[in-house]
Structure 1
């Protein structure tokens, strides 16, 4: 069974009223069955975000996007943890000094000027440091 068939089977299982759509409540039930936690508000937000035709429900293609992008929240959490390791000084930004310190801990010796150049490649607002959004771009 390929991935598409598996998604279709899961979709059809949770489409209680067999209308070819999954409601926020059905999505919440689906996530609960696979061991996740999703409040009704979170399910409604997910449906609103992914709903391609504006009917307040997920069609099969919307559902596939939900499943395949479901790890997005975990990726953001992992990036936030990595960002905090590089940031280190509580400023909310990665500075050339904090980047140098972290690279040194990883066994890579860099000069401050080299760290400034590394940061400048992803410093979208030109302030000389990386905020979290710029860090996400750098890591993608």
Structure 2
């Protein structure tokens, strides 16, 4: 998944901190409610050129959405960071 941050890249993707990833993802919060919906997450995955974005967003929401309400809020964002690292090939590092 190609996500542009600081121009730091590796062979298999871009490197960012968890906070950079969260800030990037919040750009897709189109209704500005502070949560990421299934549709907003699909837009983010599609923006990166990700294939099978509908399938990936379903898996991502299911993995991150601890309370099962269909949204990823700030308390669940770390779950999404973990999913992105394991499944979407995003490199999250501590700077």
1:68 and 2:82 aligned: yes
CA distance in 1, matches of 2:84, 2:23: 18
Aligned pair in 2 of structure 1 residues 30, 63: CA closer, same or farther (>3 Å)? farther
User: What TM-score does the superposition give when structure 1 sets the normalisation length?
Assistant: 0.43
1:14 is matched with which residue? 28
Higher relative contact order (CA 8 A, sep 6+): 2
CA distance in 1, matches of 2:88, 2:19: 25
> Which structure has greater strand proportion?
2
1:103 is matched with which residue? none
- Structure 2 gaps, min length 5: 1-5, 7-15, 90-95
User: What TM-score does the superposition give when structure 2 sets the normalisation length?
Assistant: 0.58
Structure 1 segments (4+ residues) deviating >4 Å: none
Aligned pair in 2 of structure 1 residues 74, 34: CA closer, same or farther (>3 Å)? closer
**Larger Rg computed on CA atoms:** 1
1:48 and 2:62 aligned: yes
- Structure 1 gaps, min length 5: 76-140
Give 1:36 shift: 1.6
Give 1:39 shift: 3.3
